[in-house]
């Protein structure tokens, strides 16, 4: 169950000062356990430290299955559909 900031309650959280004092220790812990650590500032999560996972899939493979609905793919997109143009 997440807390008020959307961070799972069982996920380790440390303050910036705690992280600064023991950064290498937290890095090793994340590497060995695979569990992320959330760094907080004044009680709010600011950074998540997690193990790096390389994704060898191509950009198109990563997007495969991400479109939920695709109606009329040959129709042009209207200007009103683009929020950035407003």
Asked whether residue 47 is assigned to any structural domain, the reply reads yes
* Residue 1 belongs to a domain: no
**Residue 7, domain member (yes or no):** no
Please give the tally of structural domains in the chain.
1
CA distances to 43, 53, 56, 64, 65 from 14, rounded to whole Å, are 9, 23, 32, 36, 36
Whether residue 16 lies inside any domain: the answer is: yes
Asked if residue 37 is part of any domain, the answer here is yes
Q: Give the pLDDT score at 45.
A: 94
Beta sheet of 44-49, edge-to-edge order: 12-15, 37-41, 44-49
Decide if 25 is inside a domain: yes
pLDDT averaged per 10 residues, the chain (length 86): 58 95 97 95 95 88 82 75 58
What is the predicted pLDDT for the residue at 6?
Answer: 57
pLDDT in the model for residue 86: 47
Look up the pTM and report it. 0.56
Structural domain range at position 65: 12-85
pLDDT attached to residue 42: 94
CB-based burial, 35-59: b 16+ in 10 Å, e otherwise: eebbbbeeeeeeeebeeeeeeeeee
């Amino acid at each position: 169950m997440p807390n008020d900031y959307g961070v799972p309650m069982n996920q380790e959280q440390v303050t910036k000062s705690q992280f600064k004092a023991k950064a290498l220790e937290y890095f090793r812990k994340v590497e060995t356990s695979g569990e992320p650590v959330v760094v907080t500032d004044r009680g709010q999560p600011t950074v998540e430290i997690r193990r790096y996972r390389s994704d060898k899939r191509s950009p198109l493979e990563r997007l495969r299955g991400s479109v939920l609905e695709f109606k009329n793919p040959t129709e042009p997109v209207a200007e009103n559909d683009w929020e950035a143009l407003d």
